[in-house]
């Protein structure tokens, strides 16, 4: 089929310079949600209609499988679809989606496509308890005869609860004929796509409908309030899936998934956690409160304590991270590694059973197994221009408040005394100390506060 996504509106109620369809739910723009669902139907052509915001929409959505058609000025939905006609295949039906309706499920669209086939006009409809503002589905003897916009509806039509979602599919050759004869003689002075319904009836084209599993699939966004409401709906749905798959959420209302989260068995996630990109969590993992994890892998039985930030990193089995730890891109932690409070690791590999439990910075380093990194230790990896690596071999002990000036190597089983500034390699199995001789000054008096 052809798929046309309407994304030209300004969204005045959003009160933003950003086009409405580029506002985000779960870290992804509204129209990208629609695009990703549309791709699930394997369309022959995929066309996005843009207008307000200039090139912002094409720039944000640029992809090999997407064509763009500009609607300027914006003269209604019928006029918008007309702009897509040069990009569609006449021999295939055309499915029309709204770029500000992000939560429609693929299964609902598949039901509509199946019902319409290649020669019927299919409409996705929904029954609303409060249909105010929506076009009403008018039926005669159970069959759809027309769609009447709210502003043009009679009092009797206002009482109809079945409404148009804006999602329709129809034969493209017929669509072109109907669009060419649209009128803007209505309250808005616009060319309504919904007017093709009456033309289809007049031409004897069969009208069919399908309904989604849930009302929220058809909800659109016109304001920041509605954007926030759909964000919560989306997250509630994500939480429900996790719960059904056996994940323990200490409060399902306080989790945000902005990407893909894959969990093993017996995973526990505390409140306020945010997952971005693609995150994989192994069996028996506990994620502490208010942690932010992005594009990371957490292996079996690891413990992520509260307030940790983990970004583009991997955490080995039975590792313990945090609280208040930060793993930056390129951190690779082996089994049973301990990274404690206020420790930052960047672009470094840390071997099994090694520990950095307090107040350390490990950057551009390769650390072996069973290494102890004392509190206050840093790898000085940057000379102001270039980055250099630090190597700490197995069983080394790094005393507190040491500075390792890269490039430098600490040999296997070596010990650095507390307060060491290491600028040359430390030999294996030896104690290395670099600090001035301790001196006591007799008669020295501590300063007193002046009155």
Q: What is the pLDDT of residues 174-222, one digit of tens each?
A: 999 999 999 988 878 889 898 899 899 999 999 999 999 999 999 999 9
Provide the percentage of residues in the chain whose pLDDT is more than 70.
100
Mean pLDDT of 12-30: 94
Mean pLDDT of 401-418: 96
Does residue 52 have an active-site annotation? Answer: no
Between helix 30-39 and helix 106-116 the angle, nearest 10°, is 50
Spell out the domain ranges in the chain: 2-218, 224-432
- The model's confidence at residue 342, banded by pLDDT at 50, 70 and 90, is very high
Give the residue numbers of the binding site for acetyl-CoA: 375, 381-382, 400, 418, 435
Give the residue numbers of the binding site for Mg(2+): 100, 222
CATH number, span 224-432: 2.160.10.10
108-158 pLDDT, tens per residue? 999 999 999 999 999 999 999 899 888 899 998 888 888 888 888 999 999
Instruction: Give the global pTM.
Output: 0.89
348-363 pLDDT, tens per residue? 999 999 999 999 999 9
Q: Is the pLDDT of residue 330 over 90?
A: yes
Q: Give the per-residue pLDDT at 23.
A: 96
Q: Give the per-residue pLDDT at 185.
A: 85
As given in the structure block, the two tokens for residue 404 are 């390792």
Q: What is the mean pLDDT of the chain?
A: 95
Chain position carrying tokens 């959420």 = 249
Give the residue numbers of the binding site for UDP-N-acetyl-alpha-D-glucosamine: 6-9, 20, 71, 76-77, 135, 149, 164, 222, 328, 346, 361, 372
* CATH 3.10.290.10 is held by the domain 2-218: no
215-267 pLDDT, tens per residue? 999 999 999 999 999 999 999 999 999 999 999 999 999 999 999 999 999 99
Identify whether the C-beta of residue 373 lies closer than 8 Å to the C-beta of residue 360.
Answer: yes
N-term to C-term CA, the chain = 86
Q: Is the pLDDT of residue 446 over 80?
A: no
Give the residue numbers of the binding site: 6-9, 20, 71, 76-77, 100, 135, 149, 164, 222, 328, 346, 361, 372, 375, 381-382, 400, 418, 435
**Residue (of 134, 190, 194, 200) closest to 162 by Cα position:** 134
């Amino acid at each position: 089929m052809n798929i046309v996504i309407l994304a030209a509106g300004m969204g005045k109620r959003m009160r933003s310079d950003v086009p409405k369809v580029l506002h985000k739910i779960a870290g992804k723009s509204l129209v990208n949600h629609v695009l990703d669902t549309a791709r699930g139907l394997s369309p022959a052509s995929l066309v996005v209609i843009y207008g307000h915001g200039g090139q912002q929409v094409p720039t944000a959505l640029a992809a090999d499988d997407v064509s763009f058609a500009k609607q300027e000025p914006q003269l209604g939905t019928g006029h918008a679809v007309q702009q897509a006609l040069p990009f569609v295949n006449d021999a295939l039906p055309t499915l029309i989606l709204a770029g500000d309706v992000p939560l429609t499920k693929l299964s609902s669209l598949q039901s509509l496509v199946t019902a319409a086939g290649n020669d019927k006009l299919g409409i996705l409809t929904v029954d609303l308890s409060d249909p105010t503002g929506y076009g009403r589905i008018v039926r005669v003897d159970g069959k759809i005869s027309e769609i009447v916009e709210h502003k043009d509806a009679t009092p009797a039509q206002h009482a109809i609860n079945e409404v148009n979602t804006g999602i329709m599919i129809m034969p493209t050759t017929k669509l072109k004929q109907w669009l060419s004869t649209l009128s803007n003689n209505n309250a808005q002075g616009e060319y309504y796509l919904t007017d093709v319904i009456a033309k289809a009836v007049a031409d004897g084209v069969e009208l069919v409908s399908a309904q989604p599993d849930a009302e929220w699939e058809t909800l659109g966004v016109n304001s920041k309030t509605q954007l926030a409401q759909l964000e919560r709906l989306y997250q509630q749905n994500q939480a429900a899936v996790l719960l059904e798959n056996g994940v323990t959420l200490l409060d399902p209302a306080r989790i945000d998934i902005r990407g893909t989260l894959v969990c093993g068995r017996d995973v526990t996630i505390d409140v306020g956690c945010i997952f971005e990109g693609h995150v994989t969590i192994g069996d028996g993992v506990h994620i502490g409160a208010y942690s932010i994890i992005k594009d990371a892998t957490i292996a079996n039985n690891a413990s992520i304590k509260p307030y940790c930030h983990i970004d583009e990193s991997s955490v080995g089995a039975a590792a313990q991270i945090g609280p208040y730890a930060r793993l930056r891109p390129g951190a690779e932690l082996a089994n049973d590694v301990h990274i404690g409070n206020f420790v930052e690791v960047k672009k470094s590999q840390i071997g099994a059973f090694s520990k950095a439990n307090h107040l350390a910075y490990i950057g551009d380093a390769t650390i072996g197994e069973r290494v102890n990194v004392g509190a206050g230790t840093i790898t000085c990896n940057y000379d102001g221009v270039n980055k250099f690596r630090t190597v700490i071999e197995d069983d080394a002990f790094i005393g507190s408040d040491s500075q390792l000036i890269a490039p430098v190597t600490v040999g296997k089983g070596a010990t650095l005394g507390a307060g060491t500034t290491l600028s040359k390699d430390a030999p294996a199995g030896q104690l290395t100390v670099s600090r001035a001789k301790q001196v006591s000054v007799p008669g020295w008096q501590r300063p007193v506060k002046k009155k």
